[in-house]
Structure 1
Amino acid sequence: MANHKGGVGKTGTVQGIVTAAAEAGHRVLAVDMDAQGNLTRRLRARLPEAPEDRAAASLASVLQRPALGELGRILVPCGYDDPVYRDRITVAPAHLDLELLSLTAGAAASEKRLLRAMQGVVENFDLVVIDCPPNLLSHQIDIAWSAADFLILPCEPGYDSVEAARRIHERVERDRHTLNPDLTIAGIIVNRFRPNLRIHQRRETDILNIRGEEHVCPVRIHELVALKNQEELAQPLRADRIDGVKAADQFRDVYAWVTKRINALMEGTA
């Protein structure tokens, strides 16, 4: 999951999709590559209380110089009470020290560190989602994209967000052959959509024009209070009994589209 612009609801989209996947009975690994650690907090992944121990128990420690499969040593379960999520969502937690990875960018094959750390671990999951930082040209992005098969772009219907998504698309097309020849943009998810706003209707057209209508999820994620509660209260959408069910059903349908889209790309029929 990536967008060059921050604040577009990228992590909220990841949170909604991984919980929808768990509700569908799938085992999910959520990899938090953003040094802010918002996904780690929102999934209530527990890190040690002592500050000096937190970095060592996070992805930042693994990616310094990973052995094959080392990601497994820092994985923790989702902290939600409901076993539907707790037993099916596993988190690779972030830490601020992820920012220091840029200092290792000159090392040979350093962009392959996450890919190396994941070997032998990801086979235990039905879905792996990497939450990227809001960057375009950074070592964190290179590490995340080098380990990914598909890229999903959450995008608000606003000018800056659309242009940021366009820049992501352009960079993948430009650098795929040197960074990750197998990386494919699977699609765009329109987030925080207000169908009654004319400007959102206009930007929706701009989003469709980035890659074509077939690349855009037909489900528009509407701006609902439950989405804010999901982020602020670190809870699954269905915990909000007022409009959380409606929001969760949106993500159920988004996840179904993502799954269908990725399967079609893997089979070469998209």
Structure 2
Amino acid sequence: MDAQGNLTRRLRAQVPAAPEDRARASLAAVLQRPAVGEIERILVPCGYDDPTYSERITIAPGHLELELLSLTAGTASAEKRLLRALHGVTDEFDLVVIDCPPNLLSHQIDIAFSAADVLLLPCEPEYDAVESARRIYERVDRDRHTLNPDLAVAGMIVNRYRPNLNVHQERVGEISKIRGDEHVCPTRVHELVSIKNQAEYARPLRADSAQGREAADAFRDIYTWLRTRIATVTGAAA
């Protein structure tokens, strides 16, 4: 759902080369007036050479034209269009991740919140990011009844953490106070060169270096924590 399409690029989604064809084969085109389950027509595999990834990761490519969805925000049930496009398709997947734009109040966010079961917040240990996390929790509490009554917050992942900085240690304590320690993943995502390389060169962490493999192991631990949290919060919500 992020119009910048960073995740689409970093996973090397197999999209058409021609710009006009790329737009038609994107989530932006599907969400104009989606039929039930229509997202299936644009799904493409991850483009990493290793079939470990290409056989397990499927992408609905983003596109800059996702920004244009705000022009039709006033139409009936506009915020439900992603939910409609996903209907019946998600049954084939273990986990569906909706990558959101980095803001709080936008039509793309409303669409994502309406389609999601749980919300996961990456949060840098910096003052402004911690305040933003507080506002997201407040917005979910305030608008859940209109956007998605079943939406639950799985918790937060501390991102770009530098353990040698006292201010980062202090901010992690503040993050825990927002909703309690159980809402914060105990595995931190450290600010590492290997992660920056993955973002820059669009390749798997394990292909980078020993440091990249360590980072990949950390993300595996985060995934294990997340699945437990999803089971916990959706059970509580039910």
TM-superposed CA distance for 1:251, in Å, is 0.4
**1:245-269 Cα shifts (integer Å, max 9, x gaps):** 1101110110000011111223339
Is the Cα–Cα contact under 8 Å of residues 130 and 171 in structure 2 kept in the other structure? yes
The DSSP-based 3-state class of the residue aligned with 1:131 is: coil
Q: Report the counterpart of residue 98 of structure 2 in structure 1.
A: 130
**1:206-237 Cα shifts (integer Å, max 9, x gaps):** 10111111110011111111110110110111
Long gaps (5+) in structure 2: none
Distance 1:267 1:47 in 2: 37
Is 1:78 aligned to 2:52, yes or no? Answer: no
Is the Cα–Cα contact under 8 Å of residues 37 and 87 in structure 2 kept in the other structure? yes
Q: TM-score, normalised by structure 2?
A: 0.98
Question: Once superposed, which parts of structure 1, at least 4 consecutive aligned residues long, lie more than 4 Å away?
Answer: none
State the percentage of identical aligned residues: 71
Q: Report the counterpart of residue 181 of structure 2 in structure 1.
A: 213
TM-superposed CA distance for 1:151, in Å, is 0.2
Give the one of 62, 67, 86 matched to 1:118: 86
Q: Report the counterpart of residue 170 of structure 2 in structure 1.
A: 202
Distance 2:204 2:113 in 1: 27
Is the Cα–Cα contact under 8 Å of residues 194 and 211 in structure 2 kept in the other structure? yes
User: Aligned partner of 2:158: which letter?
Assistant: V
Is 1:50 aligned to 2:18, yes or no? Answer: yes
Distance 2:177 2:129 in 1: 14
Aligned residues: 238
**1:86-108 Cα shifts (integer Å, max 9, x gaps):** 00000000110000000110100
Distance 1:268 1:100 in 2: 36
Distance 2:18 2:164 in 1: 49
The DSSP-based 3-state class of the residue aligned with 1:45 is: coil
The DSSP-based 3-state class of the residue aligned with 2:234 is: helix
TM-superposed CA distance for 1:198, in Å, is 0.6
Pick 1 or 2: higher relative contact order, CA cutoff 8 A, min separation 6.
Answer: 1
The DSSP-based 3-state class of the residue aligned with 1:36 is: coil
Q: Report the counterpart of residue 123 of structure 2 in structure 1.
A: 155
Q: Report the counterpart of residue 186 of structure 1 in structure 2.
A: 154
Distance 2:33 2:69 in 1: 10
Give the one of 58, 66, 72 matched to 1:90: 58
Q: Report the counterpart of residue 2 of structure 2 in structure 1.
A: 34
Distance 2:4 2:236 in 1: 36
